[in-house]
Structure 1
């Protein structure tokens, strides 16, 4: 089984994603931080955009786009942000939405509101 690891920030003790056999990409948990910081933005909408932009960047490292996602898990520190997240989330897709879980969570790293984990598959 061939594996290719992608890492944007080598100071962290994990890879951003691993591509298995050239087609299945497994993404680490992603959070929406302000660029170059460990701070989250002041609004949930901006944080949702930042985390989804980050997902796009990791997918691009493997030559993929949002349409390649086949599954997402969203951890949310406050489930009342469901609609706020969904309003932003929908703007990142042009076709069918991937299957997804939206899970209530306690405190997330850096006091993030959202953390996303995903799997993407490259077309053959």
Structure 2
């Protein structure tokens, strides 16, 4: 995790971006993969792309969901947490009928009690699933 995140005027911010390591290129867009704000970690939308190469992984929603959740795990672990620290998840599916297939993969990664979750249909520009999350990394 980075030690400072100055704003455009150079003043320190109250949150810190998460670094995924020197071998992972920064996102193409103007966003951070995750930011730590106090005890909370806010994770940007993760998609089924290899974090190092950008290659799309998976041809169906099951394969793409596994890669997406692996990317989510990478970000939360880079911040010092685990998937068990995630308290809320938002899922965007290209096809709302893929809910059952996504849910089956989700249950491979999360156990009861489950985080809160919202699942919505969305136009995702060539991918089948995107997941954002919030983790609590404070006192246990």
Aligned to 2:133: 118
Q: Does 1:6 align with 2:18?
A: yes
C-alpha contact (below 8 Å) 1:67/1:95 kept by paired residues: no
| Structure-2 change in CA distance of 1:74 and 1:53 (3 Å) | same
- Consecutive unaligned residues in structure 2, runs of 5 or more: 1-12
Larger strand percent: 1
Secondary structure of 1:18's aligned partner = strand
d(CA) in 1 for partners of 2:17 and 2:57? Answer: 26
Residue 48 of structure 2, aligned match among 27, 32, 48 = 32
C-alpha contact (below 8 Å) 2:47/2:130 kept by paired residues: yes
Residue 82 of structure 1, aligned match among 84, 99, 111 = 99
d(CA) in 2 for partners of 1:38 and 1:14? Answer: 19
Q: Which has the higher contact order (CA 8 A, sep 6+)?
A: 1
Q: Residue by residue, what CA displacement relative to the aligned partner does 1:39-79 show, whole Å, maximum 9, x if unpaired?
A: 24212111000000000000001100111111110011101
Aligned to 2:116: 99
d(CA) in 1 for partners of 2:27 and 2:78? Answer: 18
Q: CA RMSD in A?
A: 1.6
- Consecutive unaligned residues in structure 1, runs of 5 or more: none
**TM-score normalised by structure 2 residue count:** 0.79
Provide runs of 4+ in structure 1 moved above 4 Å: none
d(CA) in 2 for partners of 1:58 and 1:49? Answer: 15
Aligned to 2:33: 16
Number of aligned residue pairs: give it.
121
